[in-house]
Amino acid sequence: MAQSPLRFAILGFGRHAVRRLIPAFAKCDHAVLNGMWRRDQAAAAGDCAEHQIPHCFSTREELCASPDIDVVLITSPDAMHKDDMLLALAHGKAVLCEKPLSMNSAEAQEMAAAASAAGLLFGVAQNFRYNHTLDWMKEQIAAGRIGQPQLAHAQYSYPATKAPRKWIMDPTLACGGPIADVGVHCIDALRYVLGEDVQTVSTLAYKDEVSGAVEAAASLQLEMTGGVLANVTVSARAPYRTLVEITGSDGVLVAENGLTVDRPVQLFLWRGGELVETTTLENGDGYTRMLDSFALASRGSGTFLASGEDGVHNMQVLDAAFKSWKTGLREPL
């Protein structure tokens, strides 16, 4: 007899939930959205009615304590993640937390330790680990089709001034500007496809009249295990673009807009200066695959690809990146 879907609640409901998560839950086989909470209770009531969410909780505590919820999906601003997660764990709930995981790696380590002590599943919503484009690149590298990876580059640009999330430029709420907001996706994508980790970071970045205390654009140079030298470039002042490319001893992989979920993505394999393979993939089911994977892992079936420990490593990279920007030095993790 098939098990009923695992019941999720979104803590910190906002535009991301409406744009990405609600459509994803609608296609899930193993996960269902059963509740939500947001600070604006009038808006919350309207959201629950519009999207037919069964439980519109009046407080975070009520959500986390509810017997009608199995998993708490945290999508609140970065500064709230740790307290939100500790509250969920205290009520025996598994936690899937948005990136960046926290404000710094010390908080992330505290979160991971608390989940381990509670014996509860803890994952990070690095949804791009469930993109078919990254899976394809990972498979080509594992098969040796570009030889030994040597250089890697991931870029993520977007016009933040047109985005509705104004808190992203508030350093009391956000871990950082585009380094933390989307750079963490680039870092995680490179770690995933290469199967390598970051050892040191060197950062160049600048602020502008809009960004205030956080950066507007940045370039991170990463020294990775396996002898890979990588660059992560991010901008909150450019048109939307995502790029992932890996150069190996025998070939090159390129995914223009490789992290895109809204339209088909073309991928290219080059060897000896010749284009030897191209394929087109879509990532539209990435969020659904992520949610179903977490639900299955919560029930002991399969492994969730973005563990809390991965989130801690990514936060250590962010810490080193921000420290390097301040010191002007290459910083180890």
Least Cα distance to 318 among 152, 123, 99 occurs for 99
Write down the mean pLDDT value for the chain. 96
- pLDDT per residue over 17-57, tens digit each? 999 999 999 999 999 999 999 999 999 999 999 999 999 99
Q: Is pLDDT at 166 greater than 80 in this prediction?
A: no
Q: Binning pLDDT at 50, 70 and 90, where does residue 161 land? A: confident
**Predicted pLDDT at 1:** 62
List Cβ<8 Å contacts ≥24 apart for 262-269: 265/133, 267/133, 267/136, 267/137, 269/140, 269/145, 269/146
Fold classified for 6-126: Rossmann fold (3.40.50)
Q: Binning pLDDT at 50, 70 and 90, where does residue 164 land? A: confident
Tell me what the mean pLDDT of segment 207-221 comes to: 94
In one letter, which amino acid is 284?
G
Least Cα distance to 99 among 324, 310, 251, 298 occurs for 310
**What is the C-alpha radius of gyration for the chain, rounded to an integer number of angstroms?**
20
- pLDDT per residue over 102-151, tens digit each? 999 999 999 999 999 999 999 999 999 999 999 999 999 999 999 999 99
Tell me what the mean pLDDT of segment 260-271 comes to: 96
State both tokens at 296. Answer: 């299955």
Q: Is pLDDT at 167 greater than 90 in this prediction?
A: no
Whether the CB-CB separation of 10 and 21 falls below 8 Å is answered with yes
**Predicted pLDDT at 3:** 87
Exposed e or buried b for every residue in 55-70, given b needs 16+ CB within 10 A? bbbeebeebbbbeebb
Tell me what the mean pLDDT of segment 56-79 comes to: 98
Q: In what order do the strands lie in the sheet with 229-235?
A: 274-281, 265-271, 252-256, 237-248, 149-159, 229-235, 217-224, 198-206, 331-332
| Neighbouring residues of 321: CB distance < 8 A, sequence distance ≥ 6 | 179, 183, 201, 203, 218, 220, 331
The domain limits of the chain are 6-126, 128-287+315-332
Distances (CA, A) of 44 to 54, 79, 163, 319: 12, 21, 21, 34
Q: State which H helix or E strand residue 148 sits in.
A: none
* Model confidence, pTM: 0.96
Fold classified for 128-287+315-332: Dihydrodipicolinate Reductase; domain 2 (3.30.360)
Q: Is pLDDT at 163 greater than 80 in this prediction?
A: no
Same fold, 6-126 and 128-287+315-332: no
**Predicted pLDDT at 162:** 80
